[in-house]
Each structure stands twice: as structure tokens, then as C-alpha cells.
Amino acid sequence: MSKSVKDTPLNEMITLAQQGDQTVQNYLLKMYQPFIAKCVSEVCKRYIDPKRDDEFSIGLSGFNEAILAYSAERGSSFFTFAKLVVKRKVIDYIRYIQKKPAAVSLDETYDVEQMENPLEIVAVKEQYQIEQDAWYRREEIIDFKEKLKAYKLTLEDLTEVSPKHKDARDSAVRIARLLYENDQLRKYVMQKKKLPIKELVSVVNVSKKTLERNRKFILAMFVVLSGDYIYLQDYLKGVGQ
């Protein structure tokens, strides 16, 4: 690997890989194998040998997907995004290969008539889904808390500043959507970590005082919208639209 490629900033290497530069892509896959192994190990709860464990190969595939799908404009760092993709990929793989009822795969279709206790199997599937959903939610909340720190916000802040009335919450989420969907405003918020109050006053039917009062909540909703959050974004479906 040439020195010039090694010295290339990560975001530039990702862009090159997305443009079809396989040399750079292979370099990234090799360079960050320790990171991949750590992510996989966190899921499997054991040491992962890159040369022997199938789970590592799945994690490597997930990391490759992350390289090709990453967009800095969405707000998360590449490693935050890659960690989520790798972990989800490995979990899906584990769910697929499990054959015993105690850890039944959700990706399979079962012939209930051939089972000794089909009701138990259904119950196990439901419980497994609940546990996986809970894991995803925990991961998203951990990542969300880290993102909030960049805006000098905490989950405790949100509990205190969340608008009490539905109309006020809807209005705040609507403003957050506007910020996220407008390229110029989105870049401003991501770079400055604050609301463009002056610009917002001219485009929304909300007073400057109200914007300042709901500043923390609007920023937090912006973080949710700009992140790769499956569950947190579910809460916002139909809100502020």
C-alpha cells in the first residue's frame, strides 16, 4: 500500500471506495479488522478469531456494507455507523443459524404439525424477538446519548425540556424535520451544534422566544432524524408532518 493512500483521510478513502476503488476498499477492510473483531466479540460475548470464526466473516461483510452505504451528511461518525451495521449483520446471522427452540431463528418458516410443542416454539420466537428488539433499542440509546454530548445535551435535559402539550411537541418536531431536510440548515446545525434562530424565524410561524425555549428539544429531535435509528425514529412517525 502506497504511503499516499495510507495518509489519505478516512472520509476521502470511503468516498474513493464508494466510487469503485477496490484497492482502497481492500485496505480499509484489512486495516480495521481489529475494530470489526471487537464489534463481533461484543455481540458473541467471547473472543473472536478472524481466521477461524465464521462470525468474523459476517462482520467483515457488514463493515464492507457500511463503507459503501455511509454518508457523512447523516450526522453519525463512520465508526458509529459501521458498529451498528456490523452488529446487526452478526445478529441476523446468529438468528439464521440457530436451530434449537431455545434460540430459534426468526428467519425460518416452521412446520408446526411436525413439532412436539408448537405453542412453546411460538412463545420462544416471540420472546427471542422481544430480546433482540430490546438489544437494538439499548444500542440506539447508547449511541443517541453519545451524539447528544456533542450538542451539550443529556437525556435528563430532554425530560425537563420536552414540551408538555402535543401541539408544541408537534411544532418542535416539524422544525427539526425542516432543519434536517434543508441542506443548508442541516449543515449549519451539524457544524455549529446550535439552532440557526435567525434563519428559522423567517421560515417558520414560530416566535424567536418559542424557538429559544424549545431549543434543546428541537436539537435532540434533529439528532434522532439525522441518525441511523430504527426504533427512535418510529416514535416520530406521523409527528410533525
- Tell me, yes or no, whether 6 lies in a domain: no
**In this structure, are 106 and 164 located in the same domain?**
no
**What are 81-106's pLDDT values in tens digits?**
888 889 888 888 887 776 544 444 44
- Average pLDDT value for the chain: 82
Angle, alpha carbons 30-81-40 (nearest 5°):
55
Asked if pLDDT for residue 131 goes beyond 50, the answer is yes
pLDDT band, residue 238 (cuts 50/70/90): low
Which pTM does this prediction carry?
A: 0.54
Domain span including residue 63: 32-121
**In this structure, are 169 and 102 located in the same domain?**
no
**In this structure, are 172 and 113 located in the same domain?**
no
- Tell me, yes or no, whether 175 lies in a domain: yes
- Tell me, yes or no, whether 95 lies in a domain: yes
- Candidates 32, 130, 47; CA nearest to 85 is 32
What is the Cα–Cα distance from 14 to 70, expressed in whole angstroms? 8
**In this structure, are 54 and 106 located in the same domain?**
yes
- Tell me, yes or no, whether 57 lies in a domain: yes
- Tell me, yes or no, whether 24 lies in a domain: no
Number of domains in the chain: 2
**In this structure, are 168 and 227 located in the same domain?**
yes
- Read off φ and ψ for residue 70, nearest 5 degrees: -65, 140
- Tell me, yes or no, whether 134 lies in a domain: no
